[in-house]
Amino acid sequence: MFISTKKFTGYPCAHRQWRDEGHCKFIHGYSREFTFWFKANSLDDKSWVMDFGGFKDFKLFLDDTFDHSCLINNDDPELPLFREMDKKGILKLRTLDNVGMEGTSLFLHHKMNEYLQLKTAGRVWCFRVETRENEKNSGLYEEDRLDKGSPV
């Protein structure tokens, strides 16, 4: 089994956790970074798990989703207000089921595996994602392939 990692850094974005009773219920922001862990049973023709230069399209997705955006939960009761601000050009709204570090890691785990299926026909899969909001806080999601025939 071969393992490699790729880190994407410098994604300034805001979010809020509307269910929190403390200060996290307010819109606040960090420069997020994402680390992906990959596995493969065999290396490519360059003797790599993954050609990191092949992530251009995925980086565009990250840029669109996280660069200077405001992340709001799909069930936030103030979502109509955020949609109106997005419509007026006040913010770049992106919605997720869970904008926290753990939820973002789950979201990116699925997106990366969709991408890897297209790029590598299942030879490479992502088994762990870490989303970091600062040097002190991160959340991880980990899920390995359920069987050796296809990624999760």
Spell out where 16-92 has E strands: 28-40, 69-73
pLDDT for 70-100, tens place per residue?
A: 999 999 999 999 999 999 999 999 999 999 9
- The answer to the question of residue 59 being in a domain is yes
Q: Are 47 and 66 in contact (CB under 8 A)?
A: no
- The answer to the question of residue 40 being in a domain is yes
Q: Which CATH number does the domain housing residue 27 bear?
A: 3.30.479.10
First to last CA, the chain: 17
- By C-alpha distance, which of 115, 13, 120, 110 is closest to 59? 115
Domain count for the chain: 1
- The answer to the question of residue 151 being in a domain is no
Structural domain of residue 133, as residue ranges? 2-142
- The answer to the question of residue 35 being in a domain is yes
- The answer to the question of residue 149 being in a domain is no
The answer, yes or no, to whether residue 152 has pLDDT greater than 50, is: no
What is the structure's pLDDT at 144? 83
- The answer to the question of residue 150 being in a domain is no
Helix then strand count (H, E) for the chain reads 3, 6
Tokens of 87: 């419509």
pTM: 0.92
